Amino acid sequence: MIELLLGIPLVLLLIAAAFDLRTREIPDWIGIAIIVLAVIGMVFGLDGIRWWSVLGGGLAGFGIGYGLFRFANLGGGDAKLIGAIGTLLGPIGILIVLFWMALAGGLLALIAAARGQRDYAYGPAIALGYLAYLIWPVGIWQRLIHE
């Protein structure tokens, strides 16, 4: 069941990346849907998701997202998406996603610079960061192999 709870946000993040690439905006319903999934996981106690994890991850994610929005020119939709992921993964999980996101964002920045662009959509980096979280180090693939 936890695989489904973590897999649905991946689909939503891929949709967000497509919106970001096409329109340079991320619809709010995507972040709201991820938060709803986190609350559902908390209510049903899926894989140890507790209220303090949802709250702490949300605060960490929205706090970091706001800081990146305010001081690093990250888009508002991107910042809200980071906060929503934080509610689902908790404070440690969002930090791991942010690490992978930064690596993916750096790669996107290099590609944009090679094309002569100064600005680029960051939604794909968020989706890639979440996908990397699912794969390594705590990844869902580890659970599937061991079960």
Residue 30 · residue 37 · CB < 8 Å: no
Among 69, 125, 136, 71, smallest CA distance to 102 is for: 125
Cα 21 to Cα 49: distance, rounded to the nearest angstrom: 32
Q: Residue 6: what pLDDT?
A: 79
pLDDT of 1 strictly over 90: no
pLDDT of residue 4: 75
Rounded Cα distance between 26 and 132, Å, is 21
**Is a pLDDT exceeding 60 seen at residue 143?**
no
How far apart CA 129 and CA 66 sit, in angstroms, is 18
Query: For the whole prediction, is pTM greater than 0.85?
Result: yes
| E strands, the chain, in order | none
Handedness of CA 46, 66, 126, 145 (dihedral sign): negative
Q: How many other C-beta atoms lie within 10 A of the C-beta of residue 45?
A: 9
Q: What pLDDT, on a 0 to 100 scale, did the predictor assign at position 138?
A: 60
pLDDT band for position 144 (50/70/90)?
A: low
Q: What is the mean pLDDT of residues 69-93?
A: 94
Domains and CATH numbers, the chain: 2-146 (1.20.120)
**Residue 90 confidence (pLDDT) above 80:** yes
Return the H-helix or E-strand segment holding 78. Answer: helix 76-114
Q: Is residue 22 pLDDT above 90, yes or no?
A: yes
Helix (H) or strand (E) holding 50: none
